[in-house]
Chain A
Amino acid sequence: MKIPIAVAGILLAGAALASAQAINGAGATFPYPIYGKWFEEFRQKNPSIEINYQSKGSGAGIAQLTEGTVDFGASDMPMKDEQIAALKVKALHFPTVLGGVVPTYNLPGVPDLKFSSEAMAGIFLGQITKWNDPRIAKANPGVKLPATDIIVVHRADGSGTTFVFTDYLSKISPAWKSGPGANTSIKWPTGVGQQGNEGIAGMVKQTPGAIGYVELIYALKNKMEYGSVENAAGAYLKATLETVTAAAAGAAKNMPADFRVSITNAPGKNAYPIASFTWLLIPTQIQDPQKRAALTGFLKWMLTDGQNDCASLGYAPLPKEVVSQEMKQIAQVR
């Protein structure tokens, strides 16, 4: 007797869940904290809509969108042309927030190092191997640099952070562009791989002479020291939410219609050079009208009220120009 009741209970519960509009997405891990907050807030405002998000990585998000097993994807790097060609239903890129990547290093007694473009490329190419190399010293007059080995620490797991960082290196160094190139995983000329921001931070922290790169949010949350980086205008900038948003504003003037844009090494005196959008990938055709209304409703809310959540979680908000351009793109979802 008990079993049929239990089965009926499960079926009823299932029916109750099904009455809410469930939307499934998957993709990038970097924006997951704010996406989680957005989806929860949006559900509180619209109890009939439930957005589920699996933060499995940008590559997995694109793959699942291509297979059609999710309603939307999310990625830290814009889709490549061949990836777009593989889609059955064309998808739109919607930038949501901005992220930055910062160099973190371990040199006891040497805070606030400045890294020129030449030094950055040289270190990660393995051409600069000692901390007192003149190419590092040039931008840091008066700083006493030790003659110790530089130990490069990079991400071992495929990551949008690596894509942004290597995309920046490709723009400042022709040798990097023709060599390792830009991707979520690359063949590193030198160094040690560690998993995740926490892996890099841990390795750098305990290894004197180490240098690595982590997400700005991670560095801010953990109150880590990080260096300034030379930007396209030749100024040395520390990454902050403002300088990262400034990088997007600099790029907004000639934003391509599909938003597939790299904003590393962006023009502008205040533009931090290692910055990037992260994107939601929304199909242009959604058959179910309820689902379509729910997703477009979410996009509108995310671009307006949702942006106010950015600062408290450490994300840089979108510049106004980009928001208004995206609002127009929502109409293309049919």
Chain B
Amino acid sequence: MSATATASVLTRRSSTVKGDEIAHLVTLAFGATVVLITVLLVWNLWGASAASRSKFGIGFLWGTNWDPNAADFGALPFIYGTVMTSLMALAISVPLGVGAAIFLAEMAPPGLSSACTFLVELLAAVPSVIYGMLAIFTVVPMMREYIEPALKGAFGYLPQFQGPMLGVGYLTAAVVLAIMTFPYIIAISREALLDVPHDQREAALALGATRWETTFKVVVPYARLGILGSIFLGLARALGETMAITMVIGNDSTLHASWFAPGYTIAAVLANEFAEATGKMYTGALVELGLVLFLVTIVINALARLLVLATTRKGSAKAA
């Protein structure tokens, strides 16, 4: 079968070479759309934010005032809210997600593992507005009644845990983001762990390592790149999340030190204010915020790549 197939390929060689060229051009065109879309996006955002860029300059990035009535705009409260909530969310969801992935891939009986994996994939596909509603009816009251008072009791001497407990704010947003990024981290980390070749495990066991030692000293380090990838994907979702966040963060454009206080993210303010924004300066400032979100994403992604490089330099099977 395969011999005849090879023969027929060889006889039609000239036409296949042509076919290769066509396939090359077609896939190149598909690949080029990625670059094209990125360039168009930046070009468009750059052009539409001209009024705001020329008035506020680079100071837009650290301006703290957002006053549509006075046409004075600064992005810092939104940058702070976006980065802060995303990092806090990862601080919660990474240990939980990676831990759950290790359990599902290495420890759990196959039946339980596949049932849980199915549930995790289901959770990853839930639209964010559903998470937002869930958050409003359960997470917000829970934060206000139990978690925030408990945190205030334990760490009330820190400025992060002071002020009125509203139930909505940075911390609640971070918790909701953690819930939303958690399934991504589990699903992809689990795949990465399952991809670790069996001879790696067998070699470790043959050397006398226990199950735990095999998992933590061999399997997890081997799957490190895949696990990091899952975290970046979770981070990307957290940075751009809009609906669920605007429902629980409190949408206040003043900077607050307290994690209980209401805040704002870039995506949330765009969703809230763009439709009713009038005037070149106001819409320009909102578009510029979109540009800033783009920039924040690029910077964080670059930092993430550096982190990957730094950790892989030590040398592992997948260092390439």
Contacts and interface: CB of A to CB of B under 8 A. Distances in A.
Interface of A: 56-60, 62-63, 80, 82-83, 149, 151, 156-159, 180-188, 191-195, 199, 202-203, 206-207
6 contacts: A149-B164, A156-B272, A186-B67, A187-B66, A194-B247, A206-B140
Contacts of B251: 156, 192-195
Given A187-B69, A193-B250, A194-B251, A60 B166 contact: no
Contacts of B70: 181, 187
Q: Which of B166, B251, B273, B278 has the most CB of A within 10 A?
A: B278
Given A56-B275, A156-B272, A195-B247, A187 B68 contact: yes
User: Interface residue tally of chain B, by bracket?
Assistant: 20 to 34
Given A156-B246, A194-B247, A199-B247, 9 more contacts: A59-B275, A62-B278, A157-B273, A157-B275, A157-B276, A182-B69, A186-B67, A192-B252, A206-B140
A80 B139 CA distance: 42
A186 B168 contact: no
Nearest to A202: B136
B22 interface: no
A292 B269 CA distance: 39
A192 B250 contact: yes
A187 B254 CA distance: 9
B97 interface: no
Interface string B65-107: 1111110000000000000000000000000000000000000
Contact of A57 (B166, B253, B276): B276
Contacts of B268: 156
Interface string B247-275: 10011110000000010100010011111
A-B interface, 10 closest residue pairs, ranked by CB to CB distance from nearest:
A158-B276, A193-B251, A156-B251, A59-B276, A57-B275, A187-B67, A181-B69, A192-B250, A157-B272, A59-B278
Contacts of B262: 191-193
A158 B141 CA distance: 26
Nearest to A203: B168
A83 B69 CA distance: 15
B201 interface: no
A273 B273 CA distance: 26
Given A192-B250, A193-B250, A195-B247, A207 B68 contact: no
Nearest to A191: B252
Contact of B69 (A82, A149, A183): A183
A195 B253 contact: no
B67 to A, nearest CB: 4
Nearest to B276: A158
Contact of A158 (B67, B140, B250, B277): B277
Contacts of A62: 278
Contact of A188 (B252, B274, B276, B278): B252
A181 B69 CA distance: 7
Contacts of A58: 276
A60 B276 contact: yes
A18 to B, nearest CB: 30
Interface in B273-302: 273-279
A63 B166 contact: no
B152 interface: no
A191 B254 CA distance: 10
Contact of A184 (B141, B271, B276): B276
Contact of A206 (B141, B246, B253): B141
A82 B278 CA distance: 11
B301 to A, nearest CB: 29
A27 to B, nearest CB: 11
A188 B268 CA distance: 16
Contacts of A202: 136
Nearest to A66: B278
